[in-house]
Structure 1
């Protein structure tokens, strides 16, 4: 029987990393070896296969068409191996690693996680709060909760709750806001990284949009804090402001809200979603979201997405 691994796995790993990064040093750093060792891996693999894998150019090593054709399969294979190791390690440690955006974490999830840990004292939570998408297949992160339109590729996603958006402000501003036109006469808090915009809300309110002005923030948590402290009116969606609305710290000066294709999604991978800890967290999350929304979440179709 022919050996299916004509090239050692270490060499295949080096080839895959170089093909992604284009340099021997990048592969050497990731593998913990010298650039010379990586170069030797490549030369020996080319000799065994009888195929040139890289073109040597002034800009670095460029994959040949033969390697380009095989690279997606090679990368997918190593992602699956890394995911399998992560699943084994994670189940052994009893640790659940979750990632989500800092605003959602601070304003909704962290306040409720204590209930999950009380229900599941054998599961330790590790939290990765970041606005950046995390590659769930290559990392030890078990699952993600993300706001977006869906349509990512690489892992399995379940739609949790759609998120319309609307203006919110501290109670002191309510009397100054009788009509949407009044927004042109009060400070408007701008979140520079938001996925929603005032023009869409004014269209939903069937009102012309005046010129808006006010403080601007690159961090959404700071923008929300500014609104909470009475610095102006801000566009927001239910999951990050519902607790503040319920407590009376924020109010909705207008009933109009804009519908969007944005929703919260629960994201994991095919392998990780089978683990007990991920199933328990998913079911708990669905219950908590149902409590927050006053009804059951409406699961959407599962999709493959890369977090």
Structure 2
């Protein structure tokens, strides 16, 4: 059975501090009889006496002393936490992104939002799996793909066509043996198990796609980029690898691309009822429109 006499514990604590029913009654603005009645009811609920009734006053029993000390610590903890909560600013809104997108696109633009909305606190949460938003405490997420998800509300951020990239050695193989023959010898790097991105790309390239056992899944986009540079395979990337393309560490293998792939703003239905979440979502959509 759950204990149900928490109000009486506060009264007991005050009586114990004063060592007097009368003094406690004065502080509580109650009669001495009412305070005494509360304590007797509490003792009955606990199943042990809290005070020794003496000819001239009262004293705590050993169990009463132990309970009073326990309550003192508990009440102090609660009051300290209440003070913290009163002074704490609004909770930050949490944005779930991959480190790839955060470092290559979002981070250079964040100060614009912070200057325009100094009151809104942000928390950028690096994530790889952006599917379980509510369970992870994510207010907004940025997903890459075709935007055909049905588990959350989706809004287009900007298109960023995906194309096949490899090392210079991979490109040399394509030129020597032809695209279709080279692909059979090159390991395909995927972003997640069950991804249809390579299947979509093969269709655009006019090539037959069949299931392969040598597909290597590397969920972290930055790690996947490095794996391509290191010659571990080929991957679908987008314009955010411009730096690696410019310096020749990555090369495009063909001109074929997934034109409908890009970045999408994802959130649980109703998330933008929070004005801070709505402010960041609106800003993100605006800055994306002006940057493309």
TM range (shorter): 0.5 to 0.7
Kept in 1, the 8 Å contact 2:187–2:234? The answer is: yes
Query: How many angstroms apart in 2 are the aligned matches of 1:133 and 1:210?
Result: 27
Where 2:252 maps in the other structure, the secondary structure is coil
1:243 is displaced (CA, Å) by 5.5
The residue correspondences of 1:129-168 to structure 2 (distance < 5 A) are 129-130=126-127, 131-136=129-134, 141-147=138-144, 148-153=147-152, 156-162=153-159, 164-168=161-165
Supply the distance in 2 between the matched residues of 1:215 and 1:111 (Cα, whole angstroms): 33
Could you list the runs of 5+ residues in structure 2 that have no partner in the other structure? 1-85
The equivalences for 1:231-246 within 5 A come to 231-236=232-237, 238=238, 241-242=241-242, 244-245=244-245
2:102 maps to what in 1?
Answer: 105
Q: Spell out, residue by residue over 1:126-164, the C-alpha distance to the aligned partner (whole angstroms, 9 max, x if none).
A: 12223143444x7754322223413225xx432333554
Match in the other structure for 1:255: 255
Look up the match of 1:290: 289
Contact 1:97 1:142 in 2 (8 A): yes
Q: Does 1:183 align with 2:182?
A: yes
Query: CA distance change for structure 1 residues 203 and 133 in 2, over 3 Å: closer, same or farther?
Result: closer
Residues 140 and 265 of structure 2 are in contact (CA less than 8 Å); yes or no, is this contact kept in structure 1?
no
Aligned-partner Cα distance in 2 for 1:157–1:266: 5
Q: How many residues align?
A: 200
**C-alpha RMSD of the superposition:** 3.9
3-state SS, counterpart of residue 149 of structure 1? coil
Query: In 1, Cα distance between the equivalents of 2:173 and 2:132?
Result: 43
1:278 aligns with 2:240: no
Kept after mapping to 2: 8 A contact 1:184/1:213: no
In structure 2, distance between residues paired with 1:111 and 1:188 = 33
Cα shift at 1:119: 4.1
Normalised by the size of structure 2, how large is the TM-score? 0.52
TM-score, structure 1 as length reference: 0.50
The aligned counterpart of 1:7 is: none
**Using a 3 Å threshold, how does the CA distance of structure 1 residues 120 and 159 change in structure 2: closer, same or farther?**
same
In 2, Cα distance between the equivalents of 1:160 and 1:262? 8
Alpha-carbon distance between aligned partners in 1 of 2:168 and 2:121, rounded to the nearest angstrom: 39
Report which of the two structures shows the higher radius of gyration computed on alpha carbons: 2
Q: Distance in 1 between matches of 2:151 and 2:264?
A: 13
Q: Is the 8 A contact 1:149 1:261 kept in 2?
A: no
- Runs (5+) with no aligned partner, structure 1: 1-88, 295-307
Aligned position for 1:61: none
Distance in 2 between the 1:184 and 1:254 partners? 12
